[in-house]
């Protein structure tokens, strides 16, 4: 059978009206991005500045949102705000008690002087929601950031006669859990195995983070929660039955859903990929499953309902250092990141239209995010599907335009700005959704101004571990995880290679190992699914050890194998780890 042409004049199904430009764009795509990672900063700067993190966190206090502005011009330049759609909910967690954040492995740790915040929050910002999100961020990241300072203290004590007892007391006080005694008990015969201890502590912190996320729902985004149900209903009103978002795998976008866009995590299908270059084939498969469920179960709405599948790409850029701190997968070229993200979206749309009859199609949305301020820019599409790479709506400009209005006036003005920014006559439902995303992002701009002085001090990479596999529903914190989604190492090799290069600068350069958490979710209702997920973990682990054999041999790469039943709201289950301890005795 001959391949169906891209342009066919077939009748459009009422459930999925096609939205495609009537003429091909004449814009020329930028040259392909280089495959090799171009580090954001040289190694000596990382090593020199990493030690400033602890002192900076100890000496610089949080900038209060009510602090008076000393320079209106400067404050206006750094300003930003948003209205969250979700409350942070219960912020209790089983992680160690809250403490000051320390970034011992952060690249480019430059603490700005206490920059004055605005004279008040944006009228659409909920200060209580920001405070709750801040508490969750400090508590969760603090569990990881206290590891290196603790190990430094243990290094100075390792030859004391009561070292094991002292070490356990310190660990319980600082981290909230004991350390593995086999490592501590051998310190008197040789140097304390810091690499093993570091990886073990990172894995323990991850397990506690996962447990707290699923047990306590600190982001109030669990399926069935009031915020999730309200947003799901709003999404349908806008004409979309599913929101599928692919951010870049960069850890600086790990919080894009729950923080940057303030969306309930259960209302969004998220798959992160390096450069936001998602797999077209896999996404088509997920589209088929979504549409099949609508036909079979009428969920989230019946198949005859006039709604569409919305695919979103979130690329990123840096306002502080655009030539070095942008997307590594695109060579820190903002135009290339946007252009290739749009091309991948259009490839997905073309694949659906070419493969299925009755006018099957999807809607597309391209969003950029400044990793220094969390402000987004939206390339608002027209009703015909046209997207303009050269024009967008900047949330920072929206903030300044609406900060002096009442909440109702600000919402009305945002909608007007969205309509004006569209590439052509816009769809009313898309306008409503984009306006909501912009509104939410204003609160995140305020959040960064309140708690990070207007822009992040760690504007480079500062991830704590690499997440490999499929899952990680619980990861919604900036610079916590570098994602490498994959079924096989061969398939996900580019993503994983970028992550390893990043961690060679963050950890290996200082003699610390690369912590890799493997994760494969499974459907508990399917017989044998858990066992197959575990076997999948083992295969990928062996492939990683073969690919990075020298790092593993030196103890500079450790793995933790986990699985999770995606049909239940439960934490990840640890299966095994590369960290093992000899049990003496026997012949």
Q: What is the pLDDT of residues 493-540, one digit of tens each?
A: 888 998 999 999 999 999 999 999 999 999 999 999 999 999 999 999
pLDDT, position 93: 38
The residue ranking higher by pLDDT, 359 or 196, is 196
Radius of gyration of the chain, Cα coordinates, nearest whole angstrom: 24
Q: What is the DSSP letter of 109?
A: B
Q: What is the 3-state secondary structure (H, E, C) of 494-512?
A: HHHHHHHHHHHHHCHHHCC
What pLDDT is stored for residue 23 in this prediction?
46
**Using 50, 70 and 90 to split pLDDT, how confident is the model at 317?**
very high
Locate tokens 């399926």: which residue?
Answer: 223
Give mean pLDDT, residues 27-52: 42
| Residue 119 confidence class, pLDDT cut points 50, 70, 90 | low
The whole-number average pLDDT for the span 220-237 is 96
Greater confidence (333 vs 491) lies with 333
pLDDT level of residue 16 (50, 70, 90 thresholds)? low
Task: Quickly state the pLDDT bin for 19 (edges 50, 70, 90).
Answer: low
For residue 364, the model assigns a pLDDT of: 98
Residue 265 pLDDT greater than 60, yes or no:
yes
pLDDT of 256 higher than 90: yes
Beta bridge partners of 114: none
pLDDT per position as a tens digit, 389-410 = 999 999 999 999 999 999 999 9
Question: What is the structure's pLDDT at 357?
Answer: 80
pLDDT at residue 42 greater than cutoff 60:
no
Residue 489 pLDDT class (50, 70, 90 cuts)? confident
9-13, 19-23, 410-414: range with highest mean pLDDT: 410-414
Decide if pLDDT at 562 tops 60.
yes
Higher-confidence position of 463 and 40: 463
Mean pLDDT across 564-575: 96
CA separation for the pair 325, 336 (Å, rounded): 14
Q: What mean pLDDT comes out for the span 203-217?
A: 97
User: Exposure string (b/e) for 82-112, b if CB count within 10 Å is 16 or more?
Assistant: bbbbbbbbebebbbbeeeebbbbbbbbbbbe
Distance, CA of 192 to CA of 356 (rounded, Å) = 61
- Please give the Cα distance from 337 to 431 (Å, whole number): 24
**pLDDT at position 485, please?**
84
CB-based burial of residue 553 (10 Å sphere; 0-12 exposed, 13-18 middle, 19+ buried)? exposed
pLDDT on residue 97: 37
Which residues have C-beta within 8 Å of that of residue 215, sequence separation ≥ 6? 94, 571
Q: How confident is the model at residue 583 (pLDDT cuts 50, 70, 90)?
A: low
pLDDT at 9 (0 to 100): 42
**pLDDT top residue among 328 and 81:** 328
CA distance 477 to 571: 17
Q: According to the model, what pLDDT value does residue 48 have?
A: 41
- The pLDDT-based confidence of 141 (bands split at 50, 70, 90) is very high
Higher pLDDT, 1 or 211: 211
**Active-site residue, selected from the candidate residues 193, 227, 250, 374:** 250
For the chain, the helix, strand and coil percentages under 3-state DSSP, each to the nearest 5 = 45, 10, 45
> What is the pLDDT confidence band of residue 32, given thresholds at 50, 70 and 90?
very low
Q: Could you give the percent of the chain with pLDDT greater than 90?
A: 72
Confidence band of 268 (pLDDT split at 50, 70, 90): very high
pLDDT exceeds cutoff 80 at 65: no
pLDDT at position 189 is 83
pLDDT confidence of residue 17: 55
Sequence ranges of the chain with CATH classification 3.40.1050: 231-452
Average pLDDT over residues 42-51: 42
Q: Is 58 exposed, middle or buried (0-12, 13-18, 19+ CB in 10 A)?
A: exposed
Q: Locate CATH 3.30.1330.140 in the chain.
A: 460-577
Evaluate if residue 263 carries a pLDDT over 70. Answer: yes
Q: Is-cis flag, bond preceding 300, omega within 30?
A: yes
Reduced to 3 states (helix: H, G, I; strand: E, B; else coil), residue 523 is coil
123-137, 140-154, 475-489: which range is least confident on average?
A: 475-489
Percent with pLDDT over 70 in the chain: 79
Q: State the CATH class of domain 460-577.
A: alpha beta
Angle between helices 407-421 and 428-452 (to 10 degrees): 120
Active site residue 250: yes
Q: What is the pLDDT of residue 587?
A: 52
pLDDT level of residue 570 (50, 70, 90 thresholds): very high
The CATH number assigned to the domain with range 231-452 reads: 3.40.1050
pLDDT of residue 21: 61
């Amino acid at each position: 059978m001959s391949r169906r042409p891209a342009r066919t004049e077939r009748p459009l199904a009422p459930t999925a009206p096609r939205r495609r430009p009537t003429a091909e764009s004449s814009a020329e795509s930028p040259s392909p991005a280089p495959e090799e990672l171009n580090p954001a900063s040289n190694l000596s700067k990382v090593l020199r500045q990493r030690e400033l993190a602890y002192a900076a966190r100890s000496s610089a206090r949080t900038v209060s949102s009510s602090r008076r502005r000393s320079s209106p011009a400067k404050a206006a330049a750094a300003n930003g705000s948003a209205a969250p759609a979700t409350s942070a909910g219960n912020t209790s967690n089983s992680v160690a008690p809250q403490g000051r954040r320390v970034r011992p492995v952060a690249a480019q740790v430059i603490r700005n002087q206490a920059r004055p915040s605005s004279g008040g929050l944006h009228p659409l910002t909920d200060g209580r929601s920001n405070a709750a999100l801040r508490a969750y961020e400090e508590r969760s990241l603090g569990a990881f950031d206290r590891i290196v300072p603790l190990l430094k203290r243990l290094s100075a004590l390792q030859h004391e006669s009561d070292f094991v007892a002292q070490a356990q007391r310190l660990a319980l006080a600082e981290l909230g859990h004991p350390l593995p005694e086999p490592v501590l008990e051998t310190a008197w015969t040789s140097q304390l195995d810091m690499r093993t201890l570091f990886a073990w502590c990172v894995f323990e912190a991850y397990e506690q983070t996962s447990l707290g996320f699923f047990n306590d729902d600190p982001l109030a985004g669990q399926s069935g929660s009031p915020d999730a149900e309200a947003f799901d209903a709003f999404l349908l009103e806008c004409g979309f039955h599913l929101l599928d978002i692919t951010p870049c795998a960069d850890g600086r976008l790990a919080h894009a859903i729950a923080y940057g866009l303030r969306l309930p995590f259960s209302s969004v299908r998220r798959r992160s990929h390096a450069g936001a270059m998602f797999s077209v084939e896999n996404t088509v498969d997920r589209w088929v499953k979504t549409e099949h469920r609508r036909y079979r179960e009428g969920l989230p709405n019946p198949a005859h309902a006039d709604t569409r599948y919305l695919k979103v790409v979130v690329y990123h850029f840096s306002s502080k250092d655009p030539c070095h701190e942008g997307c590594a997968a695109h060579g820190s070229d903002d135009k290339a990141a946007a252009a290739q993200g749009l091309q991948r979206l259009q490839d997905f749309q073309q694949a659906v239209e070419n493969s299925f009859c009755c006018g099957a199609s999807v809607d597309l949305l391209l969003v950029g995010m400044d990793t220094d301020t969390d402000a987004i820019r939206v390339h608002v599409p027209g009703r015909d599907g046209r997207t303009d790479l050269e024009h967008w709506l900047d949330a920072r400009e929206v903030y300044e335009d609406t900060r002096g209005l009442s909440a109702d006036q600000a919402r009305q003005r945002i909608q007007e700005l969205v309509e004006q920014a569209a590439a052509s006559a816009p769809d009313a439902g898309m306008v409503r959704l984009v306006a909501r995303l912009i509104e939410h992002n204003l609160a995140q701009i305020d959040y960064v101004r309140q708690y990070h002085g207007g822009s992040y001090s760690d504007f480079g990479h500062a991830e704590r571990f690499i997440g490999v596999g499929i899952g990680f529903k619980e990861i919604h914190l900036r610079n916590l995880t570098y994602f490498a989604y994959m079924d096989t190492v061969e398939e996900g090799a580019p993503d994983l290679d970028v992550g390893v290069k990043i961690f060679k600068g963050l950890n290996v350069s200082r003699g610390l190992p690369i912590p890799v958490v493997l994760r494969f979710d499974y459907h508990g209702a399917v017989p044998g699914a858990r066992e197959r997920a575990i076997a999948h973990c083992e295969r990928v682990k062996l492939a990683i050890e073969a690919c990075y054999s020298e790092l593993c041999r030196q103890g500079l790469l450790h793995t933790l194998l986990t699985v999770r039943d995606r049909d239940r709201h439960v934490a990840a289950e640890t299966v095994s780890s590369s960290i093992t301890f000899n049990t003496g005795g026997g012949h």
